Structure 1
Amino acid sequence: MVHVAPPGWPADVRPPDAPDWERTAVGWLLDQCPPEYRGHAVLRRHPVALARLAGWHVDACRASARHGLTQARTALRDALPADVVEATIAVLLAEEARLAGVERAVGLVEAALRGRRFPARMPGLGSRHE
């Protein structure tokens, strides 16, 4: 049987319906959340709840990075050399881009946990796992 994962699916999560896929999804989702979430058994027992909380957390982190981008030059220019300010902005840009990918991946995992399945694509266009 071929199990299909769409583009943007996290590499550490097995495709939907593959053996142990939900266990790998829970582990990956917990990695996207604050460490304290690991202490809440309800989130392990109900992966859809975990996915939704992970989505909100990643969205908030991404909003924080965007906010930082609007404030960094003004907030740091009197305290740091210009090259350090620019390097800090580069960090925020990279983090915002990384979080955009994580946000997409969390959304895909949440959709799969809610029952969505992804059609196989033409060979070479999607991720397939046996």
Structure 2
Amino acid sequence: MSQTLTTLGPDWPCQVKAPGTRDWERTAARWLRDLLPARYAGYSPLTRHPVLLARHARLQLQHEVRTVRVALQTARVELPTLGVAESVIENSIRMYAVELDQLNRLARGVRLVTDALLAEGTPPAPRRRTPAQRVS
């Protein structure tokens, strides 16, 4: 595995097999789906098209990063007005900083997986024909 990490880089998600190996796209799609809220698992455009799934995961992470940054930047001003103790505020700030680092690492992983999917030329899922499109 250390050779794979060297080839793929430290930000490559360990849950995703190396590009070109058997089932790597399936592991990439599973990892990407896990980054999204559970309700997205039922949307077939996302589940059938890994590149679309990667794009949505990237957008989701961008919004989460913005949210955590705002929470971090406003904690010292807003939390005291809510009656939050100073020790809790300090713990919250540390928590937000850790979360921001984690989100940035995940975003780098999504970027790497997206690039690999595009490089592989992942074909779109075959379209199903409706009864009206079928020729007798």
Query: Shorter-chain TM-score: what band?
Result: 0.7 to 0.9
Match of 1:120 in 2: none
Counting matched residue pairs gives: 115
Q: Which has the higher helix share?
A: 2
Q: Aligned partners of 2:9, 2:98: CA distance in 1, in Å? A: 23
- C-alpha displacement of 1:7: 2.5
Corresponding residue for residue 48 of structure 2:
45
- Structure-2-length-normalised TM-score: 0.80
Unaligned stretches of 5+ residues in structure 2:
121-136
Answer 1 or 2: which has greater strand percent: 1
1:91 to 89, 95, 98: 95
More moved, 35-44 vs 99-108: 35-44
Query: Per chain length, whose mean CA-contact separation is higher, i.e. which structure has more relative contact order (CA < 8 Å, sep 6+)?
Result: 1
Superposition deviation, residue 11 in structure 1:
0.4
Kindly report structure 1 stretches of 4+ aligned residues shifted beyond 4 Å. none
Structure 1: unaligned runs, 5 residues or longer: 117-130
Aligned: 1:13 with 2:13:
no
Give the counterpart letter for 2:77 in structure 1. T
1:81 maps to 2:85: yes
In the superposition, the TM-score normalised over structure 1's length comes to 0.84
Q: Percent identity?
A: 37
Please, what is the CA RMSD of the aligned residues?
A: 1.5
Deviation sequence 1:86-116 (CA, Å, 0-9, x none): 1011110000000010000000001101016
